[in-house]
Amino acid sequence: MGKQQKNAISPSRAKDYPEWYQQVIKASDMAEQSPVRGCMVIKPWGYTLWENIVARMDRMFKETGVKNAYFPLFIPLNFLEKEAEHVEGFAKECAVVTHHRLEKGNDGGLVPGGRLTEPLVVRPTSETIIGDSFSKWVKSYRDLPLLINQWANVVRWEMRTRLFLRTSEFLWQEGHTAHATDTEAIERTEQMLKVYVRMVEENLAIPVIKGRKTAAERFPGAVDTLCIEAMMQDRKALQAGTSHFLGQNFAKASNIRFQTENETEEFAWTTSWGSSTRLIGGLIMTHGDDDGVIMPPRVAPAHVVLLPIFRKPDERRKVMDYVNSLADSLRDVTYAGRDLVVEVDDREIGGARGWEWIKKGIPIRAEIGPRDMAKDCVFMARRDRPHREKTAIKREAFISQLPDMLEDMQKQLFQRACGFRDQHTRNVDDQKDFYDWFTPKNPKKPEIHGGFALSHWCGDQACESKIKADLNVTIRCILLDTQIETGACICCGKPSDKRVIFAKAY
């Protein structure tokens, strides 16, 4: 028997998926826990990934007419109280500021000083405070539609946190729009969901399912919530973006009125939509392997790393001249709308260099030593293939073919993720089969179960609640493109005319 190949990440996905996820983030040097409970420090490699996601998504938003603005971090408590269902939905997650200075206490330590007249909530989401601004900006139908987005941080006081997936503070974008008619607002809600689909599938290479949330899973205060759901490698669902039709609920709470063409006064129709740094968690869990993360080239912090190899002191200058010249040539090449980002790693740390870049997920690694230079070649490897699979390629061919290699890698990652999702998605019509589907085969690995179940649901919230209580399984969405199909509810057996997606979720 041959020697068993060692992986960079321990434990493996199969052995302990949650711990594997934490170790991948650590090994890739993307983020770390902060001194503040539940918060994270996003390190340069992880933050550059976020910047690339932001740049692409921001451009997509602006193509639809959206403009960026910024609103306060602090929200007066009375703003949240105006929309009862909204405040009830977020009450347990709110961080509240009650004092405005620090003073020395009797023991010489610092204690809170002056109490605020009214508490301030650290923004969990901004519908109410943006609504206040909209009420001042909107006076006539001529002021509509109003299409605003902000890139910001939000705070939701989570009890159980996990880097990127669920933290007390995270980065996100939240879009808010106001319209003269319900039709326009609904069209905008649907339009922004399509933007999220394009962003996540085309750039993060994560396949998603488009759907509508049930009333129980809907955004607090919304009339309708549309979403995209993705399957992670432990077969759980990750909500990757949401778009909400808010009707006139928030407009009435914030008094967003406008004069119509007929000179009557009406409340505006509003929407909100958002996605966050949990997309990075989704990227890791969709594409990572037991050697670390794999970066989809379109959003990768860097596209290629050049690894000069020299064993004798007098070789270094010649090799570095060759490598730096190659790096300059590569930086003149464009891929997916941006110049190639090239790293040159000349640290003399032996084989550890290569493993570091494998764990960081950089798409292409290229080694160049005296023998390669003599042949005018590089010795390259793709991150989406086994790390021992390396190819010698002529320098000019490497430069000219690199964009095609990157795009092929992007497509391969997407197709691989589609195949995994399809493999673990099935129609389930028998209740016993349904419960078996979501029951772990190995009690020591409770996170591994069947996957997505397409099953009938009668529409009764009691059935939805029972399944959640029994299995910790929720209806992720009612598919937007679902077909009318008669069947029996997987819970109560009553007639149903459609299937919905049931899954365990993050």
Question: pLDDT (tens digit, 9 = 90+) per residue, 387-430?
Answer: 889 999 999 999 999 999 999 999 999 999 999 999 999 999 99
CA distances from residue 106 to 35, 101, 116, 162, 164 in whole angstroms, order as listed: 27, 16, 22, 38, 41
* Mean pLDDT, rounded, for 248-255: 96
What is residue 482's predicted lDDT score, i.e. its pLDDT?
A: 82
CB burial of residue 233 (10 Å; 0-12, 13-18, 19+): buried
Q: If we measure between CA atoms, which residue out of 502, 428, 429, 427 comes closest to residue 470?
A: 502
pLDDT band of residue 442 (cuts 50, 70, 90) is confident
Where residue 259 falls among pLDDT bands split at 50, 70, 90?
very high
Reference 130, options 227, 242, 274, 265; nearest CA is 274
Of 112-116, 347-351, 441-445, where does mean pLDDT reach its minimum? 441-445
Query: Would you state the pLDDT for residue 29?
Result: 97
Q: Is the pLDDT of residue 115 over 80?
A: yes
pLDDT (0 to 100) of residue 76 = 95
Please state, rounded to an integer, the average pLDDT across all residues of the chain: 95
Task: Report the pLDDT value the prediction gives residue 441, as an integer from 0 to 100.
Answer: 76
pLDDT of residue 462 exceeding 90 = yes
CA 419 vs CA 286, 407, 425, 478: distances in Å = 12, 18, 10, 22
| H or E element, residue 95 | strand 95-99
For the sheet with 74-76, list strands across it. 74-76, 115-122, 95-99
The token duo for 147 is 């299409």
Are residues 456 and 499 in contact, defined by beta-carbon separation less than 8 angstroms?
Answer: yes
The whole-model pTM stands at 0.95
Q: What is the mean pLDDT of the segment spanning 138-148?
A: 98
Between 4 and 132, the more confident residue is: 132
Quick one: average pLDDT of 330-348? 97
Query: What domains, with CATH codes, occur in the chain?
Result: 19-287 (3.30.930.10), 304-421 (3.40.50.800), 426-503 (3.30.110.30)
- Residues 213 and 128: their CA atoms lie apart, in Å, by 22
pLDDT (mean) for 330-334: 98
**Containing H/E element for 67?**
strand 67-68
Query: What is the rounded average pLDDT of the residues 258-265?
Result: 96
The pLDDT of 287-307, averaged and rounded, is 98
d(CA 168, CA 443): 30
- Cα atoms in the 13 Å half-sphere on the side-chain side of 502: 31
Is residue 234 pLDDT above 70, yes or no?
Answer: yes
Q: What is the mean pLDDT of residues 313-318?
A: 91
The answer to whether residue 78 scores a pLDDT higher than 60 is yes
Least confident of 136-145, 239-248, 464-473, 479-488: 479-488
Rg (CA), the chain: 26
- % of the chain with per-residue pLDDT over 70: 98
What's the pLDDT at 4? 47
DSSP labels for 384-429? TS-TT--EEEEHHHHHHHHHHHHHHHHHHHHHHHHHHHHHTEEE--
Alpha helices by DSSP H, listed for 75-221, are 77-81, 84-90, 127-137, 182-198
Predicted pLDDT of residue 5? 54
Average pLDDT over residues 240-267: 97
CA distance 305 to 379: 12
- Tens digits of per-residue pLDDT, 176-229? 999 999 999 999 999 999 999 999 999 999 999 999 999 999 999 999 999 999
- Contact assessment for residue 219 and residue 242, using Cβ atoms and an 8 Å cutoff: yes
Under the banding of pLDDT at 50, 70 and 90, the label for residue 432 is very high
- pLDDT on residue 445: 67
Omega within 30 of 0 (cis) for the link into 124: no
pLDDT of 31 strictly over 90: yes
Kindly report which listed range (37-51, 377-391, 441-455, 472-486) carries the lowest average pLDDT score: 441-455
Neighbouring CB atoms inside 10 A of 97's CB total: 15
290's tokens? 């037991």
pLDDT band at 446 (very low <50, low <70, confident <90, very high): low
